[in-house]
Amino acid sequence: MILHDLREMRSGLVSRIHRWRAMIARATPGPLLVRGGIFFAGVLAMVLAYPSTVVFARYGILLLVLATLPALFPRTMIVTPVILVAAAGWVIATVGLGHPVTLWRLVALAGALYLMHNAAALSAQLPYDAIVAGEVLLRWFARSGLVLVGTAVLAVYLLVIDELLSGRVTLLATLAGFGIAIGITLVLARQLRQVD
């Protein structure tokens, strides 16, 4: 009975290894480039979120492995925990350890997390052997870059306005942003119902 189970496990493992080899042999540059983008954005997010004493210590290997997981498994729920681990690192570094909050680092971390999530969403839709035109990936990267630049400019602008008004605009901006988010959600929900 046990030998039969072990043989069955062995054959399942061998078949999985053969499938992975076939996937690697058939992989095309487009999906590999997107998965490389996921990996790069994940590593950058971990480096920006955690203090250098953690990144360059033995825990850095664990962070590197975590950053690799969304690139290997973009269709799974692993992307969200990796984003949460990076966000937790930022909170631990700034609140727990007292590292100063710098604007460039915060904007770069937010951008890296956005790119990792966005690239994982794209990679989840691309089969590993898909033939993807370079223009498609270029447009996707350009659109993502435009979103990042627009968000960074708006964030810096709002921080400068907040500084000039001595913090009085923060509550108003928060409430306005919350109202806009609810309005957009209602409009999209209404359009979705009309399509059905």
What's residue 2's pLDDT?
78
Block residue for tokens 């590999």 = 32
Q: What ranges do the domains of the chain cover?
A: 2-131, 170-196
Per-residue pLDDT 10s for the chain (196 aa) are 777 777 888 888 888 788 777 777 776 777 888 889 999 999 999 999 998 888 888 888 999 999 999 998 888 899 999 999 999 999 888 888 888 878 888 889 999 999 999 999 988 888 777 787 888 888 888 888 888 888 888 777 777 776 666 655 566 677 777 788 888 888 888 887 776 6
Question: Cα separation of 155 and 97, whole Å?
Answer: 25
- pLDDT of 170: 63
pLDDT of residue 169: 59
**Is 74 buried (19+), middle (13-18) or exposed (0-12) by CB count in 10 A?**
buried
pTM value surpassing 0.85? no
